[in-house]
Chain A
């Protein structure tokens, strides 16, 4: 009497008896993961060292020099001090910018009236390069941590806002129709279909916002600061201390790498379905 169609699940017994695919051996794996990357780094460092020996060390410091300066910066506490300030400003500004961007993006995406009213302002603000606002900030808030945080907030806010709003508006019609035909109310439709469907767009906006936040932090510190990474970069650059400069550039890029890695982990853990599987 049961309607069960033969289940198309895999025959576990058979799967166990099938020959296993060949796995790379231990030596193969250590080659791929450890040796090859090290070799690449070695080649780059080697060519760099060779080039540097022919060029004025002020323009292109040797890799040894940079490594040594890197160590000095940490030994003297300069790097840690700058990092402490920069990181604090970066992440406070970034999270405020992300949160505000997503929140307002959802409002604008959801309510056409909001878009009608705020649209022109947002579009013109987005088109303006934010650097030009820096003198204005200095006037308003002074050369302070607040000014730099505000700058990071703004530079993060806009891409997140626009992508979030766009995402909510551009939800695939198919999904919405499924929700409708299955009888979901307006509220249920937003909660169960529209919001989840806009996650990929929001994530894209977040990715951009995070990258811009780092830039904003550094630029802000170059212009409006006497402390922090950006300031130090400026300082060493103008003082021709290229070794320390490059060491800091490398340090700053590590922040970016960290952010990207964190984002990817979050995406894999909470939004696995957004990763193109096939």
Chain B
């Protein structure tokens, strides 16, 4: 069963997103309650997360936005289980989580492809943990590589690929395990503008076709507006989500210049104002 047909079944037949509609169910797929995390170093103490709550709906694209060092990456890592919170709980589909969840996949900012493995073997990494046969792993890995347009590089070593191509493999690797929730930590931060824009469009495509939930961390407000259904605004030290904005721009957003839309401009200035105010910076 291919990834797409599974996605069809999940969303209930339709795979294209209609204008203005976002998929919602009454109970959120992922819930975070009361997350606290403090970092103690010799120089200073940083309250990365101060009783943070977040509810993420099935199939939505939600971004966590804020200036660098405000706790959004920490929250993402805690959600995945890469870091342990000091307090707080997380539930996936109502079930409390502990440790790393097999139903979520993470895309790293510095990509982290294993250099001793080919592109195909990198994409298949998560499948090896799930006890699939070699043949199945190969098929599944080729499937996701085709989704990101890198099927012909399957046998290549990662160092022969450009940064954008490597991050595509990173995304493919995450998709290979068919996660219910995809966690992306500033995935395009290290890439140049052109590549970044191309990959934003690709992610939007993939998301609308496959219908999974995506939590996306970025400090780029335009990127967040382009991609998301909702944007959670973070403020640093102590780290808190101070507002969640609804991005009510019509979809699919690849068809028009989002930045030129009056509503997008409104949202942008509202968000920037909000973020600046929190930092105590002049307007």
Contact = CB atoms under 8 A, between A and B. Distances in A.
- The answer to whether A binds B is yes
Interface of A: 1-9, 172, 174-175, 177-185, 188, 192-193, 196-197, 199, 271-273, 277-278
A5 B202 contact: yes
Interface residues of B, number: 38
A6 B3 CA distance: 18
Interface in B142-158: 146-153, 157
A179 B159 contact: no
B92 interface: no
Given A4-B147, A5-B147, A177-B82, A185 B129 contact: yes
24 contacts: A3-B4, A3-B146, A3-B206, A3-B209, A5-B148, A5-B205, A9-B153, A175-B112, A175-B114, A177-B106, A178-B112, A179-B125, A180-B100, A181-B106, A182-B125, A182-B129, A183-B126, A184-B129, A188-B128, A192-B128, A273-B115, A273-B116, A273-B157, A278-B159
Tell me which of A3, A4, A199, A278 has the highest count of chain B C-beta atoms within 10 A of its own C-beta.
A3
Nearest to B165: A8
B229 interface: no
Contact of A177 (B112, B115, B150): B112
A183 B157 contact: no
Interface of B: 3-4, 80-82, 100, 102, 105-106, 108, 110, 112, 114-116, 125-126, 128-130, 146-153, 157, 159-160, 165, 173, 177, 202, 205-206, 209
Tell me which of A1, A9, A178 has the highest count of chain B C-beta atoms within 10 A of its own C-beta.
A178
A1 B3 CA distance: 12
Nearest to B104: A181
Contacts of A8: 149-150, 165
Nearest to A174: B112
Nearest to B129: A183
Nearest to A278: B159
